[in-house]
Amino acid sequence: MNLQHWFTLEMLHEYFDNNVCTVFKLIPMVSTQRVMKNYNIHINKLKNQYLGYIGVSPSTNSWEELQTIDDLYFQLINTDQEFDNYTDLALPKEEGTLLYLTNPLQDANEQAIITNRYLPVQSLFFQVKVPQGQPVSVVIKNSKGEDVFNQLTIENQPSISININVFGTGVYELWIAGKLSQTFIGTSEKIEDKCYGILHLQMASILAALKENNPPLLKANFIARSTYWQYAVVVSQDKKITIQDISIESVNDEQYSGPVKKTIGTEEANLFTSPDIIKLHQRARASPLLKMLYKNDFSDTVMELDIKMPVPKPSVIITKKENNEDVFYSQTIIHV
């Protein structure tokens, strides 16, 4: 038996060096676990890549073995509690939703996965409120657009019970009176506490690529959050110095606005804010420069101090409402 490579999933994020994002683990849903066992499918992780292999006889192609299986679903487990802070998404994230990742229905060798779609998660047995009055149609469609539930309500019926347990974990659409009401992830399986999203492998496009002898490369590329960078510079009174001038220059010689006097805890700080939003990144690629002219209490000589500023840590993101839009700030306290 040979192990044949049939797809690669690559997780990328602008925040990390070389965009290599290793914060996720893949756990197959129970239904997918059964398929993987029956078809001898293996998923191997190599840094930020997940490589799919299938065991087949020497005379069989991978697509021939895979063409009889349904779509596969995996839980995406997040191992970094600060992921939301350095990723470009709305805060706070809507409760009860998970990131939905899926490969597009195309047979290209390299396929981009959308990384900003969040869907509600719910049971496969649920109640739906419907407009009272005339009877209306209630339809549930699966990800292939096929009806898995179709029922006409009776006059003045307030709600309808839906049970699609038999169809298992999947992405479904709820249509009421011919209009799309909701798209949701439906499952009867346990969702792990640190589950951040659901990966849905649509086998149709994977098979199409494999028939051309091109195991598809699926790329999920996350965008880093852009924030205004703020530095709160605290000069301890124990230093016995008098500041003549203090400023921060950006990498493009632009001046940070400030200083604005602000009390942080029990200390007075000089607050500087970047002129524009800047994408967060894990390591310094170019550093703003703190420039300070000062005298001490024992001499009239003016001395100069230049300090490279660190990149802001994503542990704290300050959100402010400005012109009805959320604006994000990353604040770093610097003790001189």
Q: Return the CATH fold of 125-186.
A: Immunoglobulin-like (2.60.40)
Identify the band that residue 15 occupies on the pLDDT scale cut at 50, 70 and 90: very high
Report, as an integer, the average pLDDT of 260-281: 89
Beta pairing class for 303-308 and 318-322: unpaired
Flag whether pLDDT at 188 surpasses 80: yes
Residues in the chain: 336
Report, as an integer, the average pLDDT of 164-189: 95
Q: What is the mean pLDDT of the chain?
A: 90
Tally of CB atoms within 10 A around 195:
18
For position 107, what pLDDT does the model report? Answer: 60
> Alpha-carbon distance 179 to 186, whole Å?
19
The CATH number that domain 226-335 falls under is 2.60.40
Kindly report, residue by residue over 276-305, the tens digit of the pLDDT: 999 999 987 778 899 989 888 777 788 888
> In three state form, how does the secondary structure of the chain look?
CEEEEEEEEEEEECCCHHHECCCEEEEECHHHHHHHHHCCEEEEEECCEEEEEEEECCCCCHHHHHCCCCCEEEEEEECCCCHHHHECCCCCCCCCEEEEEECCCCCCCEEEECCCCEEEEECCEEEEECCCCCCCEEEEECCCCCEEEEEECCCCCCEEEEECHHHCCEEEEEEECCEEEEEEEECCCCCCCCEEEEEEECHHHHHHHHHCCCCCEEEEEECECEEEEEEEEECCHHHCEEEEEEEEECCCCCECEEEEEEEECCEEEEEEECCCCEECCCCCCCCCEEEEEEEECCCCCCEEEEEECCCCCCCCCEEEEECCEEEEEEEEEEEC
For residues 328 and 319, is the Cβ–Cβ distance under 8 A? yes
Kindly report, residue by residue over 47-82, the tens digit of the pLDDT: 999 999 998 887 788 888 888 889 999 999 999 999
Look at residues 272, 290, 266, 265 and name the one whose alpha carbon lies nearest to residue 231.
272
Alpha carbon dihedral 169, 174, 178, 181, in 10-degree steps, equals -150
Q: Which amino acid is at 189?
A: E
